[in-house]
Chains A and B, each alone.
Chain A
Amino acid sequence: MDTIANDFTINIATANGTGSQSANLILLQSLFDMGVPVSGKNLFPSNISGLPTWYIVRLSDEGYQAPGDRTHIQVLVNKATWAEDLAALEPGSVVVWNMDSKMPMDREDVVSYPIPMTKLARSLSPKLAKLVTNIVYVGALAELLGITDEALHKAVAGQFKGKASAIELNTTALELGRNYAKENFTKTDPYVVESREIEQQRFFMEGNEAVALGCIFGGVQLLAWYPITPSSSLAEGIIGWLPRLRTNDEGESTCAVIQAEDELAAAGMILGAGWAGGRGMTATSGPGISLMQEFIGLAYFAEIPSVFWDVNRVGPSTGLPTRTQQSDLAMLYEGSHGDTQHIVIIPGTVEECFEFGWRAFDISERYQTPVFGLSDLDLGMNRWACEGFTYPDVPMDRGKTIREQDVFEAMENFGRYRDLDGDGIPYRTLPGSGMAPILYRGTGHNPDGVYSEKPDDYFALMKRLKDKVNGARDHLPAPLLREEVEGDVGVIYYGSMENTIQEIDDILEATGLKVSQCRVRSLPIHSEVEAFIRRHRMTIVLEINRDGQLWGILRRELPNDIVGQVHSVAYSDGMPPRARIYAEKILETIKEVSQ
């Protein structure tokens, strides 16, 4: 039988809160340490214990990180989804299943490996049987696929750092699973794991953790937050780093952390911080941003630096709290009532999560306006291979903030909202300084910050704000381009779609279609994006949402003569993007447009 090495997907069906996550991470880490390009997706419920969870491990020598089109190996532990998971399998798939579950194995067209997982687990530890069951299937998979003990042991040691008893228990459980498979099965499926030479050292990293570390290196001074999935681990990441990176020998910190009473208060607090001259940030998700709208408008209108990280989950409303989507973009860009326009920066990799983490503060202080970092659950909460973080290449940019009396006195015609440099960005002084005190307000104001309802004042203010934010576009992270010389179709995408685009591209290329790619990394739209569109006959905007939100923004802002050549492919079902779905939709759209 021909073997299939490093090109298959394992789907592990368990129940939430049974400890399966640590078992699955051991599996993932051991494959990673063998040099196998691998990605893991945790499809978890909004629940602490009992509801179904799936963990998808994709092995791909091509480096594909999306979940893939189908399951090749199904691990069945959860009775609740047993029938459904089993029925969904293609003939020839492999099923590793817990024969103690008393559930039927009624498929004869699959390769079946029944394992008495519960019994084996109980034999080791009656008390911890539920937890151990998960490690048993990892041991069995290791035997069936050829994962080395060396890789497993290293992963176990990493997972249970320094906890000798946990390491021993898990190592023994792995052996139980491995030995059972060795003694009872003759391998009849083609799937194997092969070690690969590791050319570039990498480590696993979650996007939220990377943003958190980036914020620390961005000099965050106030984290005000309210817990919400899937952003909590971003805030907790910052809290986790503070003792080591931002605390002196007396245990005193240079960053305040306040768990607010709600998202409104969290937003208010970071505005207070920005107003006082500090670097404040919050981390939330769509529902939190919805609640923060009023303050976002105030930050825009009163020109208060403030950094908001939105780890997008599925909306609208409470939506699917533990699933992923790119559906907050339009809300971020035009947040709050009235005419607004906000800077949004959109990382697509964990390295960028770190970089944008620190950069967000510089941009916000430079332009004296709220800055939104847009991540999503897929990027934020799953583990991605990371090459390491690059130290900021520029000093902290504190913007046009006047801190010295002599500098202030040398200024002519100062007004808090007066555009002295012609770039729309005014100068500011800080509370407590005694320099040019004003009463900040969300009401209309003149260049001196004095209340005004005069038509000329309002019009000029709104125009300056527009010019200011528009003026930022080419100073924000530029799009990343991969252009085909002969390609006449361009694809614009953003954020976590980065991790699926290569596979989409390969599927398209297999049909004979070569497309160029442009990954947008910020709003307002960089001028390079328009140039990219002009270089192509047709451009598809690829998004993980229903309505094509970036497409909508482009349609409104691009010059009329090219609007017609930009088309939307938007799709979302809550799952991380699967390449084939998007590739097929791109092909359909091209066909429709070309008719």
Chain B
Amino acid sequence: MSDKPARAIKLNVINEPKDSYKGGPSSLCPGCGHDQISNVIINAAWENGIKPHRIAKMSGIGCSSKTPAYYLGQSHGFNTVHGRMPSVTTGAYAINKDLLYLGVSGDGDSASIGIGQLIHAIRRNMDMVYIVENNGVYGLTKGQYSATADVGSKKKKGKANETQPIDLCALAINLGCTFVARSFSGSKKQLTSILKAAMSHKGFALIDVISPCVTFNNNDESMRSYQYVKDNEITLHMADYIPHFEPMAEVEVPEGHFTDITLHDGSTIRLETISDNHDPSDSMAALTALHEAEVEKKHVTGLLYFDATKPSLAEDLGLVETPLLDVSDDQLRPSKDILDTINKEFLNQ
């Protein structure tokens, strides 16, 4: 018997251990960028102190959409159909607006079959976090280009892609999306801060995460390989997340320029200037940054665009304060007297 006392398990602000946020073992290829994102999700949810059962994990179909099985095992989830997770999430939200909807999708799921639903969820400013695990190829069907494959990029097999890609961040900014970020599965710190901020945002938060496919698209000629992204990432700013329940703890005030953005739940994301100061409220600046990166065959990451002023779907629906799920049956069904009155009105019209 060892005399060593059991190591205290670290708890978060709601006294939950990190284990409460974990899921089942991953069945993705070893080294897959998606697994790193799953870990970031676990960390972000734990550190943000969100009750795990108050999260709804939503996904479509594809490698990325399988990942909800690998995190947040105490949350209900719905692995829906290809490209149509936004609509299912919208319907669930109408019934229970108090859950945190965390959608995970891929570039096939979001930029091809599901682009219409993505666009309309953004248009409604549906209150959710929407992560695109973007690797430029279809994985489960063994390595076809997706609609986000960069021009000139070549996957492991076949010709280089010459078709113009869809930049989901540019698209989202043009649609008036209220939170648009790009990150890299290899940039754990940045991604964690952005994801935590997205969880504190009310409205549609799109995080397009470059997440290399180690099996089909991690070769030297690929513009979405680990090495290429590491060498060609333009980081707009360092991002720190300061939760509302722990003001300024653990975060040192940087020496240079920084911008604090207050999120809906009172938390803050602090953006520390690296080179040129990027103003996330300036959509044209964000589009310019994306365009310049594309021309230079680089990937720009950071919080590209943010707008706290737009009403979200909740305001648009005009519902009672109580989530509809908790509205009692007798409030949902009008009384017999009312039907009698209606019958009388019809007869006397």
Contacts and interface: CB of A to CB of B under 8 A. Distances in A.
Given A389-B339, A439-B57, A439-B78, A252 B321 contact: yes
Interface string B311-349: 000000111110011010101111010111011001101
Interface string B90-124: 11111110110000000000000000110110001
Which one of B80, B120, B321, B349 has the greatest number of beta carbons of chain A within 10 Å? B80
A218 B339 CA distance: 12
A256 B84 contact: no
A157 to B, nearest CB: 9
Nearest to A297: B81
B143 interface: no
B329 A395 contact: yes
Interface stretch (B68-76, B229-237, B270-278): B68-76
Nearest to B78: A440
B46 to A, nearest CB: 16
A438 B77 CA distance: 6
Contact of A276 (B53, B74, B325): B325
Contact of B79 (A266, A272, A443): A443
B89 interface: yes
B56 interface: yes
A216 B334 contact: yes
A269 B91 contact: yes
A277 to B, nearest CB: 5
A392 interface: yes
Nearest to A451: B69
B188 interface: no
A217 B340 CA distance: 12
B87 A268 contact: yes
A167 interface: no
A273 interface: yes
Interface string A391-408: 110011010000000000
Interface string A408-444: 0000000000000000000001111110011111110
Contacts of B119: 261
Nearest to A278: B95
Nearest to A270: B91
Nearest to A221: B324
A395 B117 CA distance: 36
A255 B87 CA distance: 17
A275 B333 contact: no
A433 B53 contact: yes
Contacts of B321: 252
A439 B77 contact: yes
B88 interface: yes
B85 to A, nearest CB: 8
Which one of A253, A258, A280, A451 has the greatest number of beta carbons of chain B within 10 Å? A258
A49 interface: no
A203 interface: yes
Given A205-B346, A272-B92, A431-B96, A254 B76 contact: no
A205 B345 CA distance: 12
A248 B88 contact: no
A258 B76 contact: no
B53 A273 contact: no
B339 A391 contact: yes
A269 B87 contact: yes
A269 B347 CA distance: 36
A432 B54 contact: yes
Contact of A213 (B325, B331, B342): B342
Given A295-B84, A431-B96, A440-B79, A272 B89 contact: yes
Contacts of A218: 333
A219 interface: yes
Contacts of B87: 224, 260, 264-269, 272
Given A254-B324, A261-B120, A270-B91, A221 B79 contact: no
Given A264-B84, A432-B53, A256 B334 contact: no
Interface size grouping (class) on chain B? 35 or more
Interface in A273-290: 273-280
Contacts of A269: 87-88, 90-91, 94
Which one of B69, B78, B346 has the greatest number of beta carbons of chain A within 10 Å? B78
B171 to A, nearest CB: 15
A595 B334 CA distance: 58
A434 B74 contact: yes
B116 A430 contact: no
B59 to A, nearest CB: 9
Given A251-B318, A254-B320, A432 B96 contact: yes
Interface string B243-258: 0000000000000000
B329 A396 contact: yes
Given A261-B116, A439-B78, A441-B79, A268 B84 contact: yes
Contacts of A316: none
B319 A222 contact: no
A152 interface: no
Interface in A320-363: 358
Contacts of A298: 80-81
B88 A431 contact: no
A276 to B, nearest CB: 4
A439 B320 CA distance: 29
A245 interface: yes
A580 interface: no
B320 A248 contact: yes
A270 B94 CA distance: 10
B69 A158 contact: no
Nearest to B82: A294
Contacts of A395: 329
A458 to B, nearest CB: 17
A256 B327 CA distance: 13
Contacts of A267: 87
B53 A434 contact: yes
Contacts of A442: 79-81
Contact of A252 (B54, B91, B318): B318
Given A264-B117, A269-B90, A276-B325, 6 more contacts: A224-B90, A252-B318, A258-B90, A277-B95, A278-B324, A431-B96
16 contacts: A222-B95, A254-B319, A254-B327, A265-B84, A265-B116, A266-B87, A268-B88, A268-B91, A268-B117, A269-B87, A276-B91, A386-B346, A391-B340, A431-B96, A439-B76, A440-B77
Interface of A: 158, 201-203, 205, 213, 216-222, 224, 245-246, 248, 251-258, 260-262, 264-280, 294-295, 298, 358, 386, 388-389, 391-392, 395-396, 398, 429-434, 437-443, 451
The list of the 5 closest CB pairs from A to B, nearest first, reads A272-B91, A268-B87, A219-B332, A278-B95, A269-B91
